[in-house]
Structure 1
Amino acid sequence: MHNFDFVKPSSVAEAVAALANEDALPLSGGQTLIPSMKARLNAPETLVSLTGIDELKGVCVDGGSLVIGAATTHATVAAEAASHFPGLAALAGQIGDPAVRNRGTLGGSLANNDPSACYPAAALGTGATVVTNTREIAADDYFQGMFTTALEEGEIITSVRFPIAEKSAYAKFLQPASRFALTGVFVAKYASGVRVAVTGASENGVFRWAEAEAALSQDFSADAIADLKCSPDEMISDLHGTPEYRAHLVGVMTRRAVAAAR
């Protein structure tokens, strides 16, 4: 790891000012950034920690949405969201291990947008709104491919608004070493219809399975999608599974999520 300066601002304005330096990077939970620095894949001159900004932390209900601060840890979401949005809380409780859950943050996960991360499925599956220091971004517009988002240089996620679903669940087939999702599916039922978001399977990152959404909006049951097949085109192929295997898992995990939500 190279030498670097460390800055810990106490406000979003201070953080934005510090990040104006093009050689500075924001640090939230650090679960991806720090290992990449140890491997010398990243060598920022300055790390700007967001964990000392109180306004970026917390879980609260605002109207029909659960609002979560970007610097809120997975463990806090798992504990504090349980009575309001159990499907989302259960997802947070499955991320990594206790050490990761007590350090990793919602904002860090969404900003990194790892193709196998869990939170992108929750954000896209609920039609969440990503709130930054400058604007609000709908989840359907936010995710733009593997490790790619709509965030601009120096833009900071401040919170995420998750519309609370009538029913929801997350089913995850994990890769046991990393505990990332080999394939994970978040299903959320609303009065307007059902949303189904898949993570861990596609080369393009998290995506919505439109055919399953249409079927489940008519009949919210595992039987409604029993005969649906997800295409293996553009699915990830690696030592853990073929594209066909991951496509098969999409169907299996979606049915499990629906069964759990019911």
Structure 2
Amino acid sequence: MPRVRDPKRSEAEKLYLESFGQLDLVKIAEKLGISDGTVRGWKSKDKWDTKLNGTLQTKERSAPKDTERSKRGAPKGNKNALGNRGGVGGPLRNGKAVSHGLFRKFLPDDEETREIYDNVGQMDSLDLLWENIQIKFTAIIRAQKIMFVRDQDDRTEVLKRKKRTDTGWEDEFELQHAWDKQATFLQAQARAMTTLTSMIRQYEEMCRQGWADEEQKLRIEKLKAEVDNIKGGGKNQESENWADALMEVAERRRAKVSEGEWQ
């Protein structure tokens, strides 16, 4: 059964729109006896600013026009509208709709980049954070295969450089032992999991503040269960496992050095 919409949510929106966006969100929260974080969440989720802009545009269109000015066109030979196909907006690739010069100045001016930029602009803060969580989680899962170490005899030779000698060319290789690769992987995994956990906590906090709907709450619970599977148990156990593994790597290195086998 769907939850009944909080009447304060509608009242908060009404106060904001009636003030044409001038009433501070903290003031709205104080009037209704709720947290300002909740009001910010409602504003983002219900797209108050979009509704406000629609209201202002409607009023502008309904305002009486200066009929005398509307009869006059541009002077003969004027090229201000050159390239404009008519209708809403300016000519193709016109920069007047860009809110600031950052996009045009620093980002690539190609169709793909513009499409990404436009799509991001339509996302609210919670959805944007969720997309970043998914990207980070995908990278962690993918790393399990890329960084896999078969066993203690798993060694990798990496071509470091080529150098010319008196007899021709000589290849110089870097030898990566299993314990080196495993230690590198554990350290990278620990950093990645710490970042992911922090992002999940931020998402949960935004959910508690009223930013999320039911679907957005459920999807983070599902992801947390999948993360727990990777960790292989509780949070404390995960840290202990990583610490034990790194200590084991150190012990192996010391043993190799003492035996004269370290390279």
- Normalization by structure 1: what TM-score? 0.22
The structure having more radius of gyration, on CA atoms, is: 2
Q: Is the helix fraction higher in 1 or 2?
A: 2
